[in-house]
Amino acid sequence: MEIKLKKGLDLKIAGAVTDLTVHQADTKVFAITPDDFPGFRPKVDVKEGDAVMAGAPIMHDKNHEDVKLVSPVGGIVKAVVRGERRKVMRIEIAKDENQTFRQFDVASSLDGDGAARLLAESGLLAEMRQRPYDIVPDPAVAPRDIFVTAIDSAPLAVTPELAVAGKTKEIEAAVALLAKICRGTIYISVRPGSKIGNINGAKIVTVSGPHPAGNAGVQAANIAPVNKGEVIWTLDIVTLARIGELVLNGKRDFTTLVAVTGPEVARPSVVMTCEGASVASVLAVSPLKSSDHHVRIISGNVLTGTVTAKDSFLHFPYRQLTVIAEGDDKVEFMGWASLSPAKQSESPTFPGHFFKRPITPDARLNGGRRAMIMSGEYDRVMPMDILPEYLIKAIIGRNIDSMEKLGIYEVAPEDFGAAEYVDTSKLPLQQIVREGLDYMREALE
């Protein structure tokens, strides 16, 4: 099966990784942040000073007690950090030199219920997403189909195939496990020329086109869209390989390759560490440029990532750091209206629109928020069969009937990343979609 997407937007940003040599980070402290897992209501299972193994539960979901977030390393619980009203912000674990791993009972996963329970207990279910609502899946609800993406089309991202090279056996073992849960088809989407060959039990889909072609939800919308009353699961190929590792060895694999990218990085590179690593330890391997201006460190890509700090930690999915200038200390003639060719824009009113060279963006909004302009600009960068501008208006108005008719069950905030970038109105589209999905879930469930 082949899908060719024409709508979308590929941002050419300076600071791409050109050398795929993997460098090892020496990370001592790791953290898991429950806010990285939408729909997960955390209940803490450990306290400061507790010893934990890699794979041991540190939090569980109040609504689904089988669903766990687990420690990525063996060590000591350093801190349980709470915010206002005792909200759990993160749990920090200091790594031991001698690592111990929890052994999971794989033999109990012979049927669908056992397989779902294994995924939930191991923390791997939390690294998948369910549509509708783009939340951690409910292990009690079998999905219609499962969509796996082996593509990362986001700005400056490194192909996830780098992390799964030579892991065909693990991938097939994972597909066999998921087939016990899935009622329909398991799809794996790849780029043309991918080194991932035929996978027993899965259907390979070749996808070409600009970002967000790599989003699993976009692929699902162009293969078999989710309708009201249906449930699908989405995940990436790295998570799929981790499921296979669990099936074959009974242990979780937490190692992750982090692409350190962006115009403020001295030598963009690929760094190996574990999930939830400290940002400082990763940047010690791939340092920033010496500069006298403020920088913004983003865990993820510039469109959908989470703002973090050097003394903080990687956020899920833990596979990219992007560093750009903050821009708050920049003085520019005419400000956002400057016609400098160095300013990139998707609008042809700016000279930079016609240049194909990589840009060095900063974090400024470049204009003020204003009323929505119904110009079809969202639709030009969203390869989904929906009316995104009307959907956003329905979400703002909390009109549930209109949201359902306009396709809210198909979307996730990340699908609006490119639309938010080109939005003339400067609306926080991803935040609006997240709030709309949460509102729908609370109202209908």
Residue 268 preceded by cis peptide, ω within 30 = no
Size (the chain), residues: 445
Cα dihedral 138, 144, 148, 152, rounded to 10, equals: -80
349: pLDDT confidence band, cut at 50, 70 and 90? low
Mean pLDDT in residue range 254-259: 97
pLDDT in tens, 217-235: 999 999 999 999 999 999 9
Q: Which of 321, 213, 336 is nearest to 267 (CA)?
A: 321
pLDDT in tens, 408-420: 999 999 999 999 9
The strand pairing partners of 323, in sequence order, are 297
Look at 157 and 330; give whichever has higher pLDDT: 157
Pairing of β 255-261 and β 232-236: unpaired
pLDDT at 240 exceeding the cut of 80: yes
pLDDT in tens, 311-347: 999 999 999 999 999 988 777 766 666 666 666 767 6
Tell me which residue has tokens 């939340």: 135
- Burial (CB count <10 Å: 0-12, 13-18, 19+), residue 429: buried
The tokens of 304 are what? 């959908």
374: pLDDT confidence band, cut at 50, 70 and 90? confident
pLDDT of the residue at 209:
96
pLDDT of the residue at 308:
96
- Burial (CB count <10 Å: 0-12, 13-18, 19+), residue 44: middle
pLDDT of the residue at 124:
98
pLDDT of the residue at 375:
79
* Per-residue exposure over 6-35, b if at least 16 CB sit within 10 Å of its own CB, e if not: ebbbebebbbbbeeeeebebebebbbbbbe
The tokens of 302 are what? 């510039």
| Backbone dihedral angles phi then psi of residue 302, each to the nearest 5 degrees | -70, -20
Q: Which of 312, 239, 316, 321 is nearest to 92 (CA)?
A: 312
pLDDT in tens, 36-65: 999 999 999 999 999 999 999 999 999 999
> How many angstroms separate the CA atoms of 360 and 370, rounded?
26
Tell me which residue has tokens 């690592």: 99
Residue 137 preceded by cis peptide, ω within 30 = no
pLDDT of the residue at 424:
87
* Distance in angstroms between the alpha carbons of the first and the last residue of the chain: 36
67: pLDDT confidence band, cut at 50, 70 and 90? very high
CB 307 within 8 A of CB 279: no
> How many angstroms separate the CA atoms of 429 and 407, rounded?
15
pLDDT at 354 exceeding the cut of 70: no
CB neighbours of 223 closer than 8 A, spacing ≥ 6? 1, 3, 147, 187, 205
Average pLDDT of the chain to the nearest whole number: 93
> How many angstroms separate the CA atoms of 6 and 124, rounded?
33
DSSP secondary structure code for residue 159 in this structure? P
Mean pLDDT in residue range 202-211: 97
Rounded to the nearest 5 percent, the helix, strand and coil shares of the chain are 25, 25, 50
pLDDT of the residue at 200:
95
How far from the centroid of its chain's Cα atoms is residue 404's Cα? 24
Window from 104-108, 173-177, 265-269 with minimum mean pLDDT: 104-108
Q: Is 219 helix (H, G, I), strand (E, B) or coil?
A: helix
pTM over 0.75: yes
> How many angstroms separate the CA atoms of 131 and 110, rounded?
25
